[in-house]
């Protein structure tokens, strides 16, 4: 590769433009995280205070049913800078992230899980990457041993399939843990789709990105919100959102099957002409019938997946609804009660 590429030129120009003391919003999606929030805040706080940044938090309460919101509200009351956006119900992590991105106005946004699986100690390194001119600095999990064997295996399979099928270059084993520049947030906001597979959307918007490898620890406390059924649906969302290959593959499958059927018919005709009438083959008929009914159901199901998504897009429902916004600048200047 030549020393000077387009992206090195862009990053060099970005680097020169970086403000000295940027503002940073820490975006934290929370769903029933009462067990870890205290520790999360006490671990991120010193890291943020040591950085030369103007920081605040944006917590998204994704319809928690435990003490998540009161814990955050109390911390804000006690002087933690930032806001809490409570959604009207649980919309899922992708929707919670979208809600957060719609409400930030800082130069930089850090997306981080509340459960301390994304170490806040990496923030200075991520900011250094941003200062070096990258618009996106994403955490790359080098060690997933905190995940179960099944989860690692299926995740690996998903990333391989995604890479094969989708034209989008999505880095494998990158989570949502990332630092993104304001310009990336603005671009993300231009994507209108209801299917918010964030990792795919991040990859779709492009921008110069840097990977920051880290070992992903286990959850500090509480339980994962993703069971295998949810993960399976998440994977289907990701695939159907970023590739139409499953729809198109039937064209080739159909063509191949038609060709084989034609050859078989030819063989039958020749056989009848050479050897005369034979006993009809019940077995081959049944096999053919069952196999192709299966193929047809599968392909109809596949089309159904896309039709369902078209339906969701056509309804144009919002991705999330806000119940309440607590804290923050607007609240501070207008509060009379
Ligand atoms: N989360 C959320 N809404 C949901 C599920 C999860 O906002 O419906 C948040 C959760 O509170 C956490 C983050 O998304 O901050 C990651 O969730 P979790 O740790 O359960 O996922 P895992 O790390 O097991 O993939
Ligand atoms: Mg987690």
Q: Whose CA is nearest to atom 24 of ligand 1?
A: 224
Instruction: Tell me the CA–centroid distance for residue 131 and ligand 2, in Å.
Output: 28
Residue among 210, 248, 227 at smallest CA distance from 128:
210
Residue 10 pLDDT: 84
Counting ligands in written order, the one closest to the CA of 231 is 1
d(CA 137, CA 106): 16
The closest residue, in CA terms, to atom 18 on ligand 1 is 224
Can you give the chain as a three-state secondary structure string? CCCCCHHHHHHHHHHHHCCCCCEEEEEEEECCCHHHHHHHHHHHHHHHHHCCCEEEEEEEECCCCCCHHHHHHHHHHCCCCEEEEEECCCCCHHHHHHHHHHHCCCCEEEECCCCCCCCHHHHHHHHHHHHCCCCEEEEEEEECCCCCHHHHHHHHHHHHHHHHHCCCCCCCCEEEEEEEEHHHHHHHHCCCCCCCCHHHHHHHHCCCEEEEEEECCCCCCCCCCCCHHHHHHHHHHHHHHHCCHHHHHHHHHHHHHHHHHHHHHHHHHHHHHHHCCCCCCHHHHHHHHHHHHHHHHHHHHHHHHHHHHHHHHHHCCCCCCEEEEEECHHHHHHCCC
Q: Which residues surround ligand 2, an ion (CB under 5 A)?
A: 115, 117
Closest-lying ligand 1 atom to the alpha carbon of residue 175:
25
Per-residue pLDDT, 143:
75
Residue 223 Cα to ligand 2 midpoint, Å, equals: 8
Q: Would the CB of 94 count as within 6 Å of ligand 1?
A: no
Report the pLDDT value the prediction gives residue 177, as an integer from 0 to 100.
Answer: 93
Distance 225 CA to ligand 2 centre (A): 8
31 C-beta closer than 6 A to ligand 1: yes
Span from the CA of 92 to the centroid of ligand 2 (angstroms): 13
Rounded to two decimals, the pTM is 0.76
pLDDT given at position 278: 66
pLDDT tens across the length of the chain (337 residues): 566 788 888 888 887 788 888 999 999 999 999 999 999 999 999 998 888 888 999 999 999 999 999 999 999 999 899 999 999 999 999 999 999 999 998 999 999 999 988 999 999 999 999 998 899 999 998 877 777 888 888 888 888 888 888 888 888 888 899 999 999 999 999 988 888 888 889 888 889 899 999 888 888 777 888 888 888 888 888 888 888 888 888 888 888 887 888 888 888 888 888 888 766 777 778 778 888 888 888 888 888 888 888 888 888 889 999 999 998 754 433 333 3
**Closest among 157, 114, 156, 112 to 138, alpha carbons compared:** 112
């Amino acid at each position: 590769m030549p020393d000077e590429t387009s992206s090195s030129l862009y990053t060099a120009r970005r680097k020169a433009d970086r403000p000295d003391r940027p503002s940073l919003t820490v975006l934290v999606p929370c769903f029933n995280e009462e067990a870890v929030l205290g520790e999360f805040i006490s671990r991120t706080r010193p890291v943020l205070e040591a950085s030369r940044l103007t920081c605040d938090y944006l917590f998204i309460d994704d319809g928690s049913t435990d003490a998540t919101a009161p814990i955050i509200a109390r911390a804000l009351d006690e002087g933690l800078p930032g806001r809490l956006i409570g959604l009207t119900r649980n919309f899922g992590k992708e929707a919670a992230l979208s809600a957060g991105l719609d409400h930030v106005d800082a130069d930089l946004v850090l997306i981080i899980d509340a459960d301390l699986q994304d170490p806040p100690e990496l923030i200075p390194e991520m900011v250094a990457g941003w200062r070096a001119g990258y618009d996106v600095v994403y955490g790359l999990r080098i060690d997933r041993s905190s995940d179960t064997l099944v989860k690692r295996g299926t995740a690996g399979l998903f990333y391989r399939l995604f890479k094969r099928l989708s034209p989008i270059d999505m880095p494998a084993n990158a989570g949502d843990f990332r630092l993104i520049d304001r310009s990336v947030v603005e671009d993300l906001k231009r994507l209108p789709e209801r299917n918010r597979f964030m990792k795919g959307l991040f990859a779709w918007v492009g921008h110069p990105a840097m990977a920051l490898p880290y070992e992903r620890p286990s959850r500090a406390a509480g339980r994962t919100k993703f069971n295998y059924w949810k993960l399976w649906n998440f994977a289907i969302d990701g695939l159907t959102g970023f590739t139409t290959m499953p729809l198109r593959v039937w064209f080739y499958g159909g063509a191949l099957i038609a060709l084989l059927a034609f050859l078989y018919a030819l063989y039958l005709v020749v056989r009848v002409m050479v050897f005369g009438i034979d006993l009809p083959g019940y077995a081959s008929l049944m096999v053919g019938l069952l196999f192709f009914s299966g193929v047809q159901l599968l392909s109809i199901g596949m089309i159904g997946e896309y039709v369902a998504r078209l339906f969701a897009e056509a309804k144009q429902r919002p991705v999330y609804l806000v119940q309440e916004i607590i804290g923050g600048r607007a609240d501070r200047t207008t509060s009379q009660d």
